[in-house]
Amino acid sequence: MKFRVLVLLLVTAIFLLTACGGIKDPHKWPVSDFTYTDQNGEPFGLQDLKGKIWVADLIFTNCEDVCLPMTANMKKLQDETKKEGIENIQFVSFSVDPEVDKPQVLHDYGNKFSADYSNWHFLTGYNQSDIEEFALETFKTWVKKPEAGDQVIHGTSFYLVDGEGKVMKDYTGLAEIPMEQIIKDIKSLQ
């Protein structure tokens, strides 16, 4: 019994120590290659992001709950990176409802949040099964559009991707996002 408690304490201590300072998250998995269509109807893909740090999320425009605060938080992050003078940063929002979210719909949605399209791309141009597979493979999260209803089930994280196209870390994209930590982690990758 004492041995089990000791092992549990040791594992907990290791976990806590690795969670402090810098990016020491065990992610580092590669983003699957992609070329989709952005809010301007232009092709945009992984090659366009080569050598750039980027933050991604999964949203859809007729979402009734989590996507609005997520997109507002992404806008805050975009503004904060500008304020901090961070360059070479991109933001990518993948639609999880591509049949509804055509380029113009995404453009209108981004306008509601005053998105700066110079470094924020809202993507569509794939079918539902493609985004479900892409999200699972790339971001290790579920996306599922039920047969009944129009609300898509999806993850609510922000994903930090390095210039080599590897997911380095993820954060909550909802209330109380760790803005300071995300900024610190972005800077550590530059």
- Residue ranges of alpha helices (H) inside the chain are 2-18, 46-49, 67-83, 103-112, 128-139, 179-189
Contact in structure between 118 and 89 (CB atoms under 8 Å)? no
Which has the closest alpha carbon to 119: 96, 151, 91, 87?
Answer: 91
Which H or E run contains 147?
Answer: none
Residue 91 three-state SS:
strand
Q: Is 121 annotated as a binding residue?
A: no
Q: Is 154 annotated as a binding residue?
A: yes
Cα separation, 142 vs 43, in Å, equals: 25
Concatenated DSSP letters of 94-135? EES-TTT--HHHHHHHHHHTT--TTSEEEEB-S-HHHHHHHH
Q: Is 20 annotated as a binding residue?
A: no
Return binding residues for Cu cation.
63, 67, 154
Return binding residues.
63, 67, 154
